[in-house]
C-alpha cells in the first residue's frame, strides 16, 4: 500500500488546493501516472503515483486546501481492485506510513537538537531563522501534520497569541451583506487570484512607486520588421520576429546604462543585479503570471522570441514550473495586446521597476516643420523612488525610446 503525499514544491509554498482528480477510487493506476492536479499560489502541479495498483481511497476532495506532506490518497499495490478481503483491519490499524512520509523527501529537512534535548525536524531556513531570533525550535508549534517546523512557523512564533486578543470577530460578519443570488453571481476567488491580489497590495503599500511616461515613434522598427520578417523566419526555423525581442534588447541596453533600475532593496542594502533576467507578463484564464527569460543580454533576437513563445505556451497550458517564475530582475508587460492606450503598471515583487507597453496608434505628430501621421506607442515606467531617482527613470525610458526609434543602433547593442 502506498500513500499519495503532497510534495514539497518550493520553500515558500506550504499548502495547495486540490484542483482536479483525474482518477477515481477503484481506478487502475500505473507507476508514475498523473492522478491529481494541485493548484498552488504560483503554479499548478501534477502529482503522480509512485506505485502501480488500484486507487483505493481519496482523502481530500476537489476544492480542499491541503498542507505539504499531507496524505491525500491511498494506492493499493497490485490489481486487487475493490476486494480488500484478506486483512482490512490490519491495513487500517497500522498507519506507520504516515511517519515514513518525511523520509521520502529528506533533502530540505534537518533534524535539530534543541536546547530542551528534544529532536526537532526543521527546514534549513527555519533553523537559520530560529538561531537569528534566539528561538528554541522545540517551543515552536508546527502547522505541518508531520511535525516539521518551517520558516513560517518560526516567524509566527511569539506573535500568534496576540491574534485572539484583538477579538474583531463580529466585524466581518456585520460587514458581509446578504447576497441576492438572483441578482448577483458569486464566484470564489482562486488561490492564484488571491495571491495576486495580496502581492499587488504589498507592492503598493511597501514601495514609493511612481510612474513616468514617454512615447515611441514605431515607424522604423515596423519598417525593419516588415523587411526582415520573412528572411528571419526562414533563417530561424519558423521563429517569427515580433516586437517583444526589440523591446527586450532595448531594455537590457538601458539597464546596463542605468544599473539602479536593475536593482532591489534588501533590508538596508541596495543589491545591484549584474544579470539581465527579464520577466514577461502573460495573461492566463487564472490571472497574470510573469515567467522569466534568463540572460537576455546573451540571447539574440531569435532566442528571445523562442523563449517568450515557449513560456507563454507553458503558461496557457498550466505547465509552468516554480523555476520559470523566480529570480527576474526587471519586468515588461504589454497591455497593448488588449488595446490599452496608457496605464501605470505595478511593479513585480521585489523588483525596482517595470516597463509598460501599449497599443500602437496612428497619430499626427511634428516631424521637423511638418505634421505627419506616424504609428506611435505610449510607454510607461513604474519605479521605486526609494532607489531610483527621477533623472535615472526618465533617462532609462528615453534610452529605450531612442534605441527603438533607431533600430540599427539597437542591433549594434546586441
Q: Please give the full DSSP string across 24-54, using - where no structure is assigned.
A: -TT-EE-TT-EEEEEE-SS-EEEEE-SS-EE
Contact 233, 241 (CB under 8 A): yes
Question: Which positions ≥6 away from 120 have C-beta within 8 Å?
Answer: 111, 112, 113, 114, 137, 138, 140, 149
The CA angle 151-68-78, to the nearest 5 degrees, is 150
Write the CA distances from 91 to 58, 290, 367, integer angstroms: 16, 46, 83
**End-to-end Cα distance, the chain:** 57
- 85: Cα separation from own chain's centroid: 47
Indicate which residues carry an active-site annotation: 385, 389
Cell numbers 531610483 correspond to 388
> How far is 362 from 247, CA to CA, in rounded Å?
19
Instruction: Please provide residue 217's backbone torsions phi and psi, each rounded to the nearest 5 degrees.
Output: -80, 110
Name residue, grid cell 526609434: 405
Amino acid at each position: 500500500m502506498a500513500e499519495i503525499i503532497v510534495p514539497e514544491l518550493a520553500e515558500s509554498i506550504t499548502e495547495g488546493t486540490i484542483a482536479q482528480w483525474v482518477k477515481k477510487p477503484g481506478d487502475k493506476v500505473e507507476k508514475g501516472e498523473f492522478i491529481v492536479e494541485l493548484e498552488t499560489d504560483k503554479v499548478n502541479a501534477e502529482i503522480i503515483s509512485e506505485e502501480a495498483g488500484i486507487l483505493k481511497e481519496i482523502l481530500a476532495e476537489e476544492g480542499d486546501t491541503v498542507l505539504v506532506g499531507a496524505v491525500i490518497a491511498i494506492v493499493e499495490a497490485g490489481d486487487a481492485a475493490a476486494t480488500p478481503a484478506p486483512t482490512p483491519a490490519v491495513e487500517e490499524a497500522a498507519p506507520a506510513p504516515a511517519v515514513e512520509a518525511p523520509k521520502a523527501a529528506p533533502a530540505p529537512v534537518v533534524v535539530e537538537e534543541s536546547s530542551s534535548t528534544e529532536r526537532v525536524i526543521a527546514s534549513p531556513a527555519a533553523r537559520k531563522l530560529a538561531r537569528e531570533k534566539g528561538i528554541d525550535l522545540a517551543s515552536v508549534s508546527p502547522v505541518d501534520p508531520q511535525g516539521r517546523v518551517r520558516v513560517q512557523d518560526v516567524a509566527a512564533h511569539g506573535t500568534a497569541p496576540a491574534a485572539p486578543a484583538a477579538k474583531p470577530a463580529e466585524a466581518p460578519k456585520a460587514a458581509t451583506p446578504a447576497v441576492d443570488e438572483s441578482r448577483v453571481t458569486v464566484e470564489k476567488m482562486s488561490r492564484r487570484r488571491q495571491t495576486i491580489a495580496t502581492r499587488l497590495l504589498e507592492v503598493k503599500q511597501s514601495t514609493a512607486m511612481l510612474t513616468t511616461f514617454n512615447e515611441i515613434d514605431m515607424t522604423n522598427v515596423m519598417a525593419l520588421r516588415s523587411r526582415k520578417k520573412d528572411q528571419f523566419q526562414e533563417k530561424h526555423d519558423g521563429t517569427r520576429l515580433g516586437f517583444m525581442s526589440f523591446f527586450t534588447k532595448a531594455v537590457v541596453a538601458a539597464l546596463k546604462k542605468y544599473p539602479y533600475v536593475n536593482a532591489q532593496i534588501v533590508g538596508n542594502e541596495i543589491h545591484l543585479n549584474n544579470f539581465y533576467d527579464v520577466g514577461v507578463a502573460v495573461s492566463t484564464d487564472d490571472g497574470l503570471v510573469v515567467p522569466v527569460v534568463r540572460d537576455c543580454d546573451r540571447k539574440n533576437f531569435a532566442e528571445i522570441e523562442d523563449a517568450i513563445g515557449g513560456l507563454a505556451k507553458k503558461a496557457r497550458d498550466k505547465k509552468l514550473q516554480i523555476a520559470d517564475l523566480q529570480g527576474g530582475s526587471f519586468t515588461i508587460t504589454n497591455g497593448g495586446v488588449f488595446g490599452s492606450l496608457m496605464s501605470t503598471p505595478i511593479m513585480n515583487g521585489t523588483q525596482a521597476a517595470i516597463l509598460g507597453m501599449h497599443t500602437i496608434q496612428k497619430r499626427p505628430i511634428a516631424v521637423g516643420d511638418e505634421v505627419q501621421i506616424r504609428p506611435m506607442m505610449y510607454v510607461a515606467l513604474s519605479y521605486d523612488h526609494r532607489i531610483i531617482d527621477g533623472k535615472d527613470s526618465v533617462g532609462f525610458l528615453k534610452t529605450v525610446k531612442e534605441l527603438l526609434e533607431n533600430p540599427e543602433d539597437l542591433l549594434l547593442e546586441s
